[in-house]
């Protein structure tokens, strides 16, 4: 049985973890990951093999959390590459860069927004592999 391979990416107000080998994990391992995410009020997305938790932590803190959980996983840090981006022109995050938005909000926009900045949203979703 293989163990989960997590790729961690920190954002301004959240972090995302891609489970690189989700398809090779057992049902009980996947349920363990889902429980881990649910306990921390996160969102697990089976389409992108990732989960998002709205908390600002560093990779070293994430490693400690995983160490204290019952999940036996390998972890890798994937830093965010900074580049110019447009700002949100609407709603509660107006004025923020798209790269600063929580993954959970990006997923909401993916399914609910069809306005003028749709292309910017799609670009950010692709960048994050959501």
- DSSP line for the chain: -PPPEEEEEE-SS-EEEEETTGGGS-HHHHHHHHHHHHHTT-EEETTTTEEEE-----HHHHHHHHHHSS---EEEE-PPPP---PBP-SSTTTTSBGGGS-HHHHHHHHHH--STTHHHHHHHHHHHT-
Domain containing residue 22: 5-77
Does some domain include residue 34?
yes
Q: How far apart are CA 40 and CA 60, in angstroms?
A: 17
The pLDDT assigned to 82 comes to 52
97 falls within a domain: no
Rg (alpha carbons) of the chain, rounded to whole number: 15
Structure tokens at 6: 């997590």
The answer to whether residue 43 sits within a structural domain is yes
What are the two backbone dihedrals, phi and then psi, of residue 45, each rounded to the nearest 5 degrees? -115, 110
Quote the tokens at residue 25. Answer: 């994990």
Instruction: Give 22's pLDDT tier (boundaries 50, 70, 90).
Output: very high
Give the pLDDT score at 12. Answer: 80
| Residue 108 pLDDT | 92
CB 55 within 8 A of CB 15: yes
pTM above 0.75, yes or no: no
- Higher pLDDT residue, 70 or 62? 62
Has residue 19 been placed in a domain?
yes
Please count the structural domains in the chain: 1
Query: Is 111 part of a structural domain of the chain?
Result: no
Kindly state whether residue 124 falls inside one of the protein's structural domains: no
128 lies in some domain: no
Tokens 């929580």 correspond to 102
**Per-residue pLDDT tens for 90-114?**
888 888 888 888 999 999 999 999 8
Q: At residue 81, does pLDDT exceed 70?
A: no
Structural domain includes residue 102: no
Mean per-residue pLDDT of the chain = 89
């Amino acid at each position: 049985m293989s163990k989960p391979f997590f790729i961690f990416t920190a954002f301004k107000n959240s972090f995302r973890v891609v489970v690189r080998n989700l398809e090779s994990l057992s049902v009980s391992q996947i349920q363990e990951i889902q429980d881990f995410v649910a306990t921390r009020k996160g969102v697990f997305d089976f389409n992108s093999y990732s989960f998002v938790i709205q908390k600002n932590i560093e990779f070293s803190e994430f490693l400690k959390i995983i160490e204290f959980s019952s999940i036996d996983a390998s972890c890798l840090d994937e830093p965010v590459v900074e580049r110019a981006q447009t700002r949100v022109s609407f709603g509660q995050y107006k004025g923020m860069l798209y790269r600063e938005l929580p993954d959970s909000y990006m997923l909401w926009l993916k399914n609910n927004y069809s306005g003028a900045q749709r292309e910017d949203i799609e670009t950010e979703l692709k960048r994050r592999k959501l």
